[in-house]
């Protein structure tokens, strides 16, 4: 698929891209933390009933910085994932809890990971596909799917509140791919008055709620792991009299899980502001589910790239579409001005990005991999001024990051596609000169139920 995607990308125009911005310091072209004075603008950016749509065109500079920050924290779930089926720790995080963000160059964001989140699921990958996906390597254990992090004292002082982040990754494990295809709607724990009739995609719900008593990492569902850590952190910081906020973020599947987790966080902590900032995420549930988010005060901002197909799915479950009675009822709901309860809809505000705005990217609307890539999305956020404006002249994010796991950069940039790989794919020479999988340092070995002591100041 990657080769096909690169083939389809070869329709970029021939104009030469501008030179890269100069590096004023060592971190200038790396993912950077926002430098805006958030405390003076908290009411505008995060206040009750804030209208984010008013800040999107043109894109507010402070909001842009926050989006890039949460995008970097979401990207860490990919960069830190051990996807190598030949690794003895396949499916875990490459780094220990304390080392995760510093190891990925995100120490300057001011957050510390406090707990890892694992998800176990049974996607029933077809037998004919198991060998191609190396599915056997993933059997018998849960996979690392994200983490919880808390702002340190410096970041809390900058923002004016203690931000707790839950970051989710997108689809990687074979069983997750299989579950993404399950679009039948299932009930999402009804709460009379706020969640009546709420239904979500079966596959997303399964990944979020499944547990496996036989797995040392999957004894508790991802849902329970996040709920437990949020209770610990919120209780700790609120007990010290601090203002606390929860921000849930993720890309693709991670964006879907972020909205499920945001609903739960708002229900468990009704006096704590909750926001969901997602990137290239699919639809999750029906109108009743989205109304449940709004009724709990959850603010949702969805960042999407035009022509990316993932935010357009799922729409309506196939079995429902084919049922004759559904067609008749759909007409009735249309007359009422509302989508039918079996139709998937989006929640919150949307920031749409266009690859044609960037002078660095191939303008290829058929590159399904590149258009869905999180780094492509963040590159466009950094360059976003307004829907009618050109690419921002002051953009500082390194364009080379786009090609970490795609081939979206134009050839003139001279950055190889899919360059983000460990040296020699992680193999090193042992004492006898043989090439073997490198052993992890002790602090990077996976540890069940690893949680960071609460010393963030």
* DSSP classification of residue 22: P
Higher-confidence position of 307 and 124: 307
Q: Across-strand partners of 112?
A: 150
pLDDT at 325: 44
> How far is it, in rounded angstroms, from Cα 171 to Cα 262?
19
Catalytic residue list contains 308: yes
Longest dimension (CA), the chain: 76
pLDDT at 38: 66
> How far is it, in rounded angstroms, from Cα 281 to Cα 248?
13
HSE-CB of 387 using CA atoms within 13 angstroms? 9
The percentage of residues in the chain with a pLDDT greater than 90, rounded to a whole number, is 64
User: Hey, CA dihedral for 67, 72, 75, 76, is it positive or negative?
Assistant: negative
Residue 122: band (very low, low, confident or very high) from pLDDT cuts 50, 70, 90: confident
Mean pLDDT for all residues in the chain: 84
C-alpha pair distances (Å), 52 with each of 6, 195, 292, 402 = 35, 24, 19, 26
Among 353, 362, 409, 411, which residue's Cα sits nearest to residue 382?
353
Quick one: CATH architecture of 2-12+50-428+437-444?
A: 3-Layer(aba) Sandwich (3.40)
pLDDT digits (tens, 9 = 90+) for 398-453: 999 999 999 999 999 999 999 999 899 999 999 999 999 999 998 998 887 677 66
Q: How many residues does the chain have?
A: 457
pLDDT digits (tens, 9 = 90+) for 363-399: 888 899 999 999 999 999 999 999 999 999 999 999 9
> How far is it, in rounded angstroms, from Cα 102 to Cα 95?
10
Q: Across-strand partners of 429?
A: 435
Higher-confidence position of 7 and 247: 247
- Domain borders along the chain are 2-12+50-428+437-444
The dihedral over CA atoms of 168, 171, 177, 183, expressed in degrees to the nearest 10, equals 50
Q: Is pLDDT at 121 greater than 80 in this prediction?
A: no
Segments in 240-366 forming alpha helices (H): 253-268, 287-295, 318-322, 324-335
Catalytic choice (211, 372, 382, 398): 372
Catalytic choice (79, 308, 382, 444): 308
pLDDT digits (tens, 9 = 90+) for 40-85: 676 677 766 667 888 999 999 999 999 999 999 999 999 999 999 8
Higher-confidence position of 454 and 279: 279
Q: Is pLDDT at 345 greater than 80 in this prediction?
A: yes
pLDDT digits (tens, 9 = 90+) for 205-229: 999 999 988 788 889 999 999 999 9
The answer to whether the beta carbons of residues 223 and 261 sit under 8 Å apart is yes
pLDDT digits (tens, 9 = 90+) for 9-39: 333 333 455 554 443 333 444 454 454 566 6
pLDDT at 23: 39
Catalytic residue list contains 141: no
């Amino acid at each position: 698929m990657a080769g096909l995607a690169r083939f389809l990308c070869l329709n970029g125009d021939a104009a030469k891209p501008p030179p890269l911005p100069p590096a004023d310091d060592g971190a200038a072209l790396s993912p950077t933390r926002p430098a805006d004075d958030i405390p003076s603008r908290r009411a505008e950016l995060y206040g009750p009933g804030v209208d984010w749509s008013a800040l999107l065109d043109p894109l507010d500079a402070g909001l842009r910085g926050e989006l890039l920050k949460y995008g970097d924290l979401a990207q860490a779930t990919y960069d830190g994932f051990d996807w190598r089926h030949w690794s003895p720790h396949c499916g875990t995080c490459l780094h220990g809890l304390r080392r995760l963000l510093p190891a990925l160059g995100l120490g300057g964001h001011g957050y510390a990971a406090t707990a890892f989140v694992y998800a176990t699921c049974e996607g029933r990958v077809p037998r004919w596909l198991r060998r191609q996906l190396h599915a056997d390597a993933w059997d018998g254990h849960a996979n690392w799917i994200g983490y919880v992090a808390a702002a340190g004292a410096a970041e809390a002082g900058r923002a004016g509140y203690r931000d707790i982040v839950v970051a989710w990754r997108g689809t990687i494990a074979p069983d997750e791919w299989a579950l993404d295809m399950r679009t039948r709607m299932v009930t999402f724990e009804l709460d009379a008055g706020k969640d009546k009739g709420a239904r979500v995609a079966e596959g997303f719900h399964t990944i979020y709620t499944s547990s496996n008593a036989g797995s040392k990492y999957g004894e508790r569902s991802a849902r329970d792991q996040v709920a437990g850590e949020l209770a610990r952190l919120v209780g700790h910081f609120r007990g010290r009299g601090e203002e606390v906020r929860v921000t849930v973020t993720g890309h693709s599947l991670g964006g879907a899980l972020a909205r499920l987790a945001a609903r739960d966080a708002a229900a468990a902590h009704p006096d704590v502001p909750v926001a969901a900032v997602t990137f290239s995420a699919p639809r999750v549930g029906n109108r009743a589910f989205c109304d449940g988010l709004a009724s709990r005060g959850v603010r949702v901002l969805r960042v999407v790239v035009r022509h990316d197909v993932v935010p357009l799915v799922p729409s309506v479950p196939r079995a429902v579409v084919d049922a004759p009675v559904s067609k008749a009822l759909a007409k009735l709901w249309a007359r009422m001005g509302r989508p039918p309860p079996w139709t998937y809809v989006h929640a919150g505000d949307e920031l749409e990005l266009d690859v044609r705005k960037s002078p660095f990217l191939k303008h290829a609307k058929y590159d399904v991999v590149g258009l869905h890539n999180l780094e492509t999305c963040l590159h466009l956020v950094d360059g976003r001024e307004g829907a009618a404006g050109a690419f921002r002249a002051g953009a500082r994010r390194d364009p080379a990051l786009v090609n970490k796991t795609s081939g979206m950069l134009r050839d003139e940039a001279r950055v190889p596609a899919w360059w983000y790989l460990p040296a020699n794919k992680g193999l090193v020479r042992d004492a006898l000169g043989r090439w073997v999988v490198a052993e992890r340092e002790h602090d990077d070995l996976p540890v069940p139920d690893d949680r960071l002591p609460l010393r963030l100041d």
